[in-house]
């Protein structure tokens, strides 16, 4: 059995003091929720839409929200027999009626449209959904959420603080949030972990020994196999893995965060010191110290939500690395940063230049037809340095097409397989900046990213 | 069936004119052989050594020697019951007595000692051997040679020109000679090929379709399996592969030489134009064009025969390449040149420098004990740039110990596994020269080597 330092109660209290919503905060949230519920009902009546019910879901409704966050999820539920088209048009009509009282409103799309509004300083999602009989018979992905609420709320009662601690701890480790940018732990997943393990502490202890394939099935009703590193069967849907969005690296980062925390349980694991943007002089110093090549593919940030943008950026990151490798450049690491105006896909290389000469190994001499074809082809080619036999194979020293990574990307990036909006932006224009050239990017958020990068 | 250009008779005649010994040459050789035989007998009598017989072996004795070569092999044979010690002392005594009439004499060692003398301008080996009953019962490797002579001489009669053509053709292709430097075809092997295939032409045709594992067993008596690319069972010893010394690359170079020759049968395949030494300006031009890194490990040529030196140089070539690879340098090719005073092991690299930062990938995070040990070790190490998790594994960016290939070799070459004499010479001193620095080596023979190299 492992022996770990226990987690001091005092530390937990210190954290809770900073993240528990205050009484006035709680009261305000409740009041806003009530207001929004009646606004939705009024709007439905006003528009003559029948059968509408309002449901408050999410952490705000379950008492597991962190102080300072102002997110409210209002589900506008329609009878199951409503058509998808009706749900969308009537649902959005009701939402837009409510939005008349909001400071700001914005149409958004996930599987189907919803309205995001700023209402009295709160960030509110107004989400039309179907009122289905069970979570396994949902007509739309969002229909599941009310069932999650029903499952969690009674079970988490009295353990809300444990959820708050775990959420804040995950935030501190950079693994909280199931958006496609983060690929970490969702709020619902965090709640299920506390329900399953019983407490913050037990979750931390357990996670230290997690391995990919770790399975948690509270209702013991899982029906299918899942490939993801962590499998937490949805208590409301036996076919769904709640942790499906969690990447292997975020899974591992959480394990690591738990182990380190138990070695010396400190406040910084919940509230890490914020990083300062890197100054130009620091960048130059670090480049000189590393002596590798830094490459940034910089382009205008496409005007789409992060859940659309980031999968495209990650795809581009892979494509650029594969292109570089295909042309013999050695990639040390890759990264992605996206700001309001500019986006950068970062590559660190062993070297951004390669010699002109490239060793091209052909078939064994005795594989006659292939070997002779190979030899004829390269013997006749322009700029061939020479040929010889090595380990029984024909080898030609040919002229490298792209001796610089910059030249390669400038010439071939557009023909990479890229996502739609990223491809559009890259097609408009992009720039390859190298080494000290990255000082051109002044966005403080990029400079914070750089501090972790180099 | 392949269709090849036939080999013009005229071409063969032109070649033969240049390589067939002239009548005066022949007569002189015969006279010298006779003289040497009687010298040996006289010496044995003078020293009172009984039971000595003289045997002329090798190409000179079989009429398969190329004009202009002046090698004579004189075997001084002792009764089988002679002890090895007696053979050596008495054999060498007789040889040294003969050497009194020579211009120059030099003790040499293969499996046992022999004497190399220059006698009236001829290069003569005086080799003591045992007179055994059959080649499969030899007491020393050289005892086989007289049996080779007995096998070849009657069978090659009338086909000597075919052997001459094949030998000269192999010379032209750089594959003639079974010394450990060349690892090509021996004279005896060439004769067996002509005996087996019937002619020069048929050998060329056959070799075009050779594959590793090609087997020729004239006596159909082979007893064991051989791993070498070409297996020619010794007609005088069913357990021996006459082609054992032939390397895979020389085997392939011969195949290639045959194919190219049949595409356009020209005199140059027998007598290639000799290469001019590379001038300094040409070296600099070629370096600029290739933009790779040239490294030469230069040291005093050890004072040993080539058959001892070259295996050590080839071993060193492998060891240096392995060392460079171990420390992340990418080797394009390696080579060896050895002159009278200096020897150079050559390496062409993608780059002679690497960044200071080195990516060190550890175990997966979930392999707990190993992963934690790895993390602790590298976290505490000096000069670590940073750490992160990638593909579920801990990765540390550590400081590279050897960012230059020159520095690596200067520090670690002495601890490589090297042969005895090379190790001694390296231990005394060596120099790593790089790129334009190789202009320091002025030996014309090195400059010819360089012309093929870059």
Which residues of chain A make contact with B366, given a CB cutoff of 8 A? Answer: 210-212, 252, 255
Three-state secondary structure of B321-366? HHHHHHCCCCEEEEEEEECCCEEEEEEEECCCECCCEEEEEEEECC
**Statement to judge: residues B174 and B254 lie in one domain:** yes
* Residue B215 and residue B173 share a domain: yes
CATH number for the domain that contains residue A189 = 1.10.1410.30
List for chain B the helix, strand, coil content (%; round to 5): 45, 20, 30
Same domain for B343 and B381: no
Across the strands, what pairs with A279? none
- Measured between alpha carbons, how far is B429 from B422 in angstroms, rounded to an integer? 11
Is A149 part of any domain?
A: no
Mean pLDDT by 10 residues, chain B (454 residues): 76 96 92 95 94 91 89 93 92 95 88 90 93 86 90 95 98 96 97 98 97 97 96 95 97 98 96 96 96 98 93 97 97 97 97 96 96 93 91 96 97 95 97 97 97 93
Collapse the DSSP code of A359 into the 3-class scheme (helix H, G, I; strand E, B; otherwise coil) and give the result.
strand
Is the residue at A133 inside a domain?
yes
Is A325 a member of any domain?
A: yes
Read off the pLDDT of residues A44-94 as tens digits, 9 standing for 90 and up. Answer: 999 999 999 999 998 988 989 999 888 899 999 999 999 999 999 999 999
Residues B80 and B115 both lie in one domain: yes
Task: Count interface pairs A-B at CB distance under 8 A.
Answer: 117
Is A454 close to B385, i.e. CB distance below 8 A?
Answer: yes
Share of residues in chain B with pLDDT > 90 (%) = 90
**10 Å Cβ neighbour count for A107?**
12
Predicted interface score ipTM higher than 0.95: no
Shortest distance, CA B404 to any CA of chain A (angstroms) = 12
Q: Are residues A82 and A20 in the same domain?
A: yes
Domain that holds residue A385: 359-399
Q: Are residues B174 and B305 in the same domain?
A: no
In the structure, what pLDDT confidence band is assigned to residue A138 with cuts at 50, 70 and 90? Answer: confident
Question: Would you state the pLDDT for residue B1?
Answer: 45
With CA atoms as reference, report the closest residue to B106 among B129, B86, B130, B126. B126
The CATH number of the domain holding residue B116 is 3.30.460.10
Does residue B176 have a known ligand-binding role?
yes
Nearest-10 Cα torsion for B181, B184, B190, B196: 150
- Do B119 and B195 have their domain in common? no
CA distance B77 to chain A (A): 41
Q: Where are the alpha helices (DSSP H) in A118-247?
A: 144-156, 160-172, 187-197, 200-207
In this structure, the answer to whether residues A54 and A180 fall within a common structural domain is no
Query: For B356, which of A289, A348, A390 is closest by C-beta distance?
Result: A289
Domain final residue, candidates B269, B297, B331: B269
How distant, in Å, are the alpha carbons of A298, B49, B149 from that of B77?
Answer: 83, 11, 14
Average per-residue pLDDT for chain A: 94
Could you tell me if residue B252 is inside a domain?
Answer: yes
DSSP state of B276: P
| Per-residue pLDDT, B382 | 83
**B365–A256: do the CB atoms touch at under 8 Å?**
yes
Final residue before a domain boundary, out of A109, A142, A175: A142
Are both B30 and B90 inside the same structural domain? Answer: yes
To the nearest 5 percent, what fractions of chain A are helix, strand and coil?
A: 45, 20, 30
Burial of A3 (0-12, 13-18, 19+ CB in 10 A): exposed
pLDDT at A143 over 60: yes
Whether residue A201 has pLDDT greater than 50:
yes
**Chain A interface disruption, residue of B251, B290, B321, most A CBs within 10 A:** B290
CATH of the domain at B335: 3.30.70.590
Sole residue written with tokens 């929004």: A36
Per the CB < 8 A criterion, the answer to whether A185 and A246 are in contact is yes
Q: Are residues B245 and B127 in the same domain?
A: no
CA distances from B174 to A98, B248, B257, B346 (A): 90, 14, 9, 20
CA distance B119 to chain A (A): 40
Q: How many domains does chain A have?
A: 4
Domain boundary among B269, B289, B309: B269
- Check CB contact under 8 Å for A392 and B252: yes
Candidates B285, B366, B374: best to mutate against A (most CBs of A within 10 A) is: B366
Residue A2 lies in a domain: no
Same domain, yes or no: A239 and A382? no
- Within-domain flag for B6: no
Assess if residue A4 is contained within a domain. no
| A3 lies within 8 A of chain B by CB | no
Residue-level pLDDT at A2: 55
**Residue A59 known to bind ligand:** yes
In-domain check, residue B240: yes
- pLDDT for A210: 98
Q: What value does the mean pLDDT take over residues A217-225?
A: 95
Say if residue B76 is in the same domain as residue B121: yes
């Amino acid at each position: 059995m492992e022996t770990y330092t226990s987690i001091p109660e005092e530390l937990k209290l210190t954290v809770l003091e900073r993240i528990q919503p205050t009484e006035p905060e709680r009261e305000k949230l409740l009041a806003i929720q009530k207001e929004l519920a009646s606004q939705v009902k009024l709007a439905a009546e006003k528009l003559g839409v029948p059968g509408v019910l309002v449901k408050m879901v999410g952490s705000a409704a379950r008492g597991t929200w962190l102080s300072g966050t102002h997110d409210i999820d209002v589900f506008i539920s329609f009878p199951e027999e409503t058509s998808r088209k009706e749900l969308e048009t009537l649902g959005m009509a009701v939402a837009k009626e409510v939005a008349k009282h909001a400071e700001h409103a914005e149409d958004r799309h996930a599987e189907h449209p919803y309205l995001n509004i700023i209402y009295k300083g709160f960030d509110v999602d107004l989400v039309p959904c179907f009122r289905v009989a069970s979570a396994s018979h949902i007509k739309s992905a969002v229909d599941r959420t009310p069932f999650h609420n029903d499952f969690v709320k009674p079970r988490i009662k009295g353990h809300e603080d444990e959820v708050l601690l775990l959420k804040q701890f995950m935030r501190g480790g950079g693994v909280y949030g199931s958006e496609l940018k983060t690929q970490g732990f969702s709020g619902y997943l965090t709640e299920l972990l506390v329900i399953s393990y019983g407490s913050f502490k037990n979750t931390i202890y357990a996670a230290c020994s997690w391995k990919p394939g770790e399975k948690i099935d509270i209702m013991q009703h899982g029906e299918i196999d899942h490939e993801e590193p962590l499998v937490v069967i949805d208590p409301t849907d036996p076919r769904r893995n709640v942790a499906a969005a969690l990447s292997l690296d975020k899974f591992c980062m959480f394990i690591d965060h738990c182990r380190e925390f138990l070695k010396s349980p400190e406040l910084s694991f919940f509230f890490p010191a914020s990083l300062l943007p890197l100054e130009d002089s620091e960048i130059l110093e670090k480049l000189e110290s590393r002596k590798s090549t830094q490459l940034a593919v910089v382009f205008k940030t496409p005007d789409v939500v992060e859940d659309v943008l980031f999968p495209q950026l990650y795809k581009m990151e892979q494509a650029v690395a594969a292109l570089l490798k295909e042309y013999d450049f050695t990639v040390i690491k890759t990264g992605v940063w996206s700001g309001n105006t500019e986006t950068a896909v970062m590559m660190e290389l062993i070297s951004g230049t390669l010699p002109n000469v490239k060793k091209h190994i052909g078939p064994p001499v005795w594989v006659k037809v292939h070997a002779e074809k190979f030899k004829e082809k390269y013997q006749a080619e322009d700029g061939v340095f020479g040929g010889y036999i090595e380990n029984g194979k024909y080898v030609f020293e040919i002229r490298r097409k792209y001796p610089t990574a910059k030249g390669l990307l400038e010439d071939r990036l557009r023909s990479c397989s890229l996502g739609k909006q990223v491809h559009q932006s890259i097609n408009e224009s992009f720039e390859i900046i190298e080494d000290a050239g990255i000082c051109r990017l002044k966005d403080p958020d990029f400079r914070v990213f750089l501090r972790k990068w180099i």
